[in-house]
Structure 1
Amino acid sequence: MGSSCLEAPPLVQDMKVNIHKTSMVFPSKETEKKSLFLSNIDKVLNFDVETVHFFGSNRDFPPQKVAEMFNNALADALVIYDFLGGRLKLNSETQRLEIDCNGEGAGFVVASSDYKLNEIGDLAYPNPAFAQFVHKSKDFHKPGDVPLCVIQLTSFNCGGFAIGITTSHTTFDGLSFRTFLDNLAALAAKKPLAVTPCHDRHLLAARSPPRVTFSHPEMIKLSNLPTGFESGVFKASKEELDFKVFQLTPENITNLKEKARSSTHARVTGFNVITAHLWRCKALSTPYDPHRLSTILYAVDIRSRLNPPLPKSYTGNAVLTAYATAKCDELEKGSFSRLVEMVTEGAKRMDDEYVKSIIDWGELYNGFPNGEVLVSSWWRLGFEEVEYPWGKPKYCCPVVYHRKDIILLFPPFGGGERCGAGADDGVNVIVALPPKEMEKFESLFHKFLNN
């Protein structure tokens, strides 16, 4: 079975969303007023993440009932996750960003769409109009107020609904957000917490004094930024971009693994071969210069890499960007197995000392990850496996914006049904590029996959 590229379906531009009520949700019990320390990883990620979770109709749980249950669950969650009802602030003494746990609450929005769920298009296709299912946190309920969490429940005419969640990335990484959703689902069902979260972010504090023991070419200091360069791969592009969804079947991924194993002893994983394949296609889709260096960034969970390991229930951001760098000449003509080795080595580099060195780097310099492309994987986070009282989501996705230097990995719609294979073995790859670069990328994607 070959890979395929989903043809762009006609996209619904206006979801016909009507806002009925916006309100604040406060902790269901009084919480302690305090400041929450943010690690150097947390404070780099000072932007919002918007996700949409789609649910089919359930006769026992109409949207109005779900809205009430979710509102109550959120109020209980704001006791356990007290920082989520707080606000970001700059500590005037330390000049560090932190969270003021002041109990000012999270936002909650009740809305409806004039459409049925099956009328809004392919849920797996990146429709920017899905942004209408989330609510902006800035100036949410009053001018100047920016809650760290805003939830919007939008009901459809069929009884299905979407839950759109906006959270500041300073609060969670993908793994801890999944734990938060599991706990929200448990609270909605009046059950014990799925996991007791660990909120101690001092576990990722810099050493005193800081000791930077590696060069960290994957980071760039703010003072070194070119004019007009604001936030690297996290910056939205103003260019006209084409969106495409490339599907890799389980067979495609197995073939990539076999190609890599033919001449390497490195650990060959599905993620590593997919990342190497995408790196080559992205680097060579721009005007060709054999001597140009291309750097790919990709997230690595550091919980188990520290000594002692972080608790698996650690709430904050415990993910760093690994990197691999090669000349375009090597990316075009070198062996695929060598590219996979470089990706594998980048992740392997993330041991206890390297992680502490990069955290200490963040203590000394203002900066953030810098590379040509970032592969952001939502592939195995399992948001679609969260068991709410009203059932599991039909599909979950982040709201897609114009970021040409971020490639997103998602599970296929329906947990692998499209691939005709088990659970989460296939993957959907979402790419946004200028039209000419997209044409080249697509050609290379199939060429390197089939050679």
Structure 2
Amino acid sequence: MKVRKENSRIIRPFYDGNADPHSTKQYIPLSVFDKVTYNTHIAVIYAYRPPIPQNAILELGLRKALSQYREWAGRLGLNDKGDSVIFLNDEGVRFVEASVDITLDQAMPFKPSPALLSLHPSLKGVEELVQVQLTRFTCGSLVVGFTAHHLVADGQATSNFLVGWGQACRGLDTIPPPLRDRTLFVPRDPPIFEFEHNGVEFMSKKLKKDNYAIEDVFGEEIVVHKIHFTVEFLAKLKSRASSSNGNNKPYSTFESLVAHLWRVITRARGLNGFETTNVRISVNGRMRLNPRVPNEYFGNLVLWAFPSAKVKDLLREPLSYATKLIHDTIAKVNNNYFKSFIDFATHKVEEEGLVPTADMNKSVLCPNLEVDSWLRFPFCDLDFGGGSPYIFMPTYFPTEGMMFLLPSFIRDGSIDAFIPLFQGNLAFFKQICYCLD
């Protein structure tokens, strides 16, 4: 599949009628949750069958959505006090128009491979905070490659923006105004450091440097394997995971599936039984903080749970053991934990010279895992006027151990998992990935 990029330009917010845009000298400070997350662009790919509106309609809709979400049209930088901020300067987003001389069916199925990188702008060395690439196929189908900088917003907030873009393209005036109230995260006085955050969300610069040195040991090729879990399999998995849960509420499908993959991937890796392995799991603070933060909050509001186990225990004990570890660890990332984090990040990080542990530049996570769950994101709601997307998926991201979970575009409740593995572990993983023992 050869993608021909025909046009690349900067587009800026469109303010209806005589609306007077706000000053382009304003800025929004990064919150403690923005600063602790991944300092990188994230890319997602949507594919649409015809009829699809013309590029001009998608462009105007994007410009209208940017007038509500001005952060995306701004730039990251430092204010006069040296604080990290988003300048609301309306300098715009990258807009690329491209084409392919084949039909979408000829290009299908989209496999997780380097070919996907041609369907969206580069993620490296990018000044713009959002980039969009519209790739037209000869059958009239359209692939939308969207990239967004994670320091600006998390998946929930970015999804709200994308839905708003689709609404603007359809001529709807229902784009929900984003909530930007950073006073929600004011530290307590006096601060209460109730939990340990050094070594969890933060680490010393020296330790981070040492981790990169250890990674150089791995030289094996990494492949991304897509695996489909049917509704029937997920139901059996959930039942098996909850079998020892007594009269308590059954574990969630997410908890059960992550526990299963943790065990299967650990077995496929062939790790030493006395080694410790953990899973980094995102926890949305909107529903954890008290008072609850509305879903319209724009920015990052995510921390992580780190369930951990010895390899020998993880593989020897039943599935319910790993599932309970995951459930209990997630439950502990509650209101008290989030507020302890706010206090620590405000008072201790700079004082102790700490840096975030969140890092998308590592290529190997072994013996650990990370799961990026996109199961709750409203992919099907991104409608430009021709209906819901035919396909949605992450771009090619070959970091060993970093899994992406998405609702299948079959839309029957099944789940697709994108799992990067060492080439030498792939065959065994395929052999055991559907085993319930």
- Category of TM-score, reference length = shorter chain: 0.7 to 0.9
Match of 1:130, as an amino acid?
L
Say if 1:378 and 1:411, in contact at 8 Å, map to a contact too: yes
1:269 has 2:260 as partner:
no
Aligned partner of 1:362: which letter?
A
Residue matched to 1:126: 112
Aligned position for 1:248: 229
Q: Contact 1:247–1:428 (CA<8 Å) still a contact in 2?
A: yes
**1:101-250 mapped onto 2 (5 Å cutoff):** 101-123=88-110, 125-136=111-122, 146-207=127-188, 210-216=191-197, 217-225=199-207, 227=209, 229-230=211-212, 239-250=220-231
Which string of whole-angstrom CA distances, capped at 9 and with x for unpartnered residues, describes residues 125-180 of structure 1?
3233111111136666xxxxx01011111111111111111110122211122211
Q: Which of these residues, 29, 40, 47, is aligned with residue 37 of structure 1?
A: 29
2:401 and 2:158 mapped to 1: Cα distance? 24
**Matches of 1:228 and 1:270 in 2, distance apart?**
36
Q: Which runs of 5+ in 1 are unaligned?
A: 1-14, 141-145, 416-422
The alignment status of 1:82 with 2:56, answered yes or no, reads no
Which residue number corresponds to residue 433 of structure 1?
A: 421
The CA distance in 2 between the partners of 1:375 and 1:336, in whole Å, is 18
| 1:49-88 correspondence runs (5 A) | 49-58=42-51, 61=52, 65=54, 67-88=55-76
> Is this contact kept in 1: 2:223–2:398, CA < 8 A?
no
Pairing partner for 2:340 from 329, 342, 357: 357
CA contact (8 A) 1:201 1:316 kept: no
Give me the whole-angstrom Cα distance separating, in 1, the residues matched to 2:172 and 2:97.
25
2:163 touches 2:381 (CA, 8 Å); kept in 1?
Answer: no
Letter in structure 2 aligned against 1:27: P
Partner in structure 2 of residue 337 of structure 1: 320
**Separation of aligned partners in 2, 1:78 and 1:273:** 39
Deviation at 1:194, TM superposition (A): 4.1
Q: After alignment, is 110-119 or 378-387 more displaced?
A: 378-387
- Asked if the contact 1:87–1:100 (Cα under 8 Å) also holds between the matched residues in 2, the reply is yes
The C-alpha deviation readout for 1:102-143, integer Å capped at 9, x for no partner, is 1111111111111211111213x3233111111136666xxx
Which amino acid is 2:409 matched to?
F
**Deviation sequence 1:359-394 (CA, Å, 0-9, x none):** 333332322248711111122312133232122111
Greater displacement, 131-140 / 433-442: 131-140
Cα distance in structure 2, aligned partners of 1:226 and 1:192: 47
8 Å CA contact retained: 1:172, 1:317: yes
- Return the offset for 1:306: 0.5
Q: Normalising by the residue count of structure 1, what TM-score does the alignment of the two structures yield? A: 0.85
User: Taking every aligned residue pair, what percent have the same amino acid on both sides?
Assistant: 26
Per the alignment, residue 368 of structure 1 pairs with 357
Structure 2: distance between partners of 1:256 and 1:242: 26
After TM superposition, give the deviation of residue 51 of structure 1 in Å.
Answer: 1.2
For 1:279 and 1:98, how far apart are their aligned partners in 2?
37
- Any idea what SS the aligned residue of 1:393 has? coil
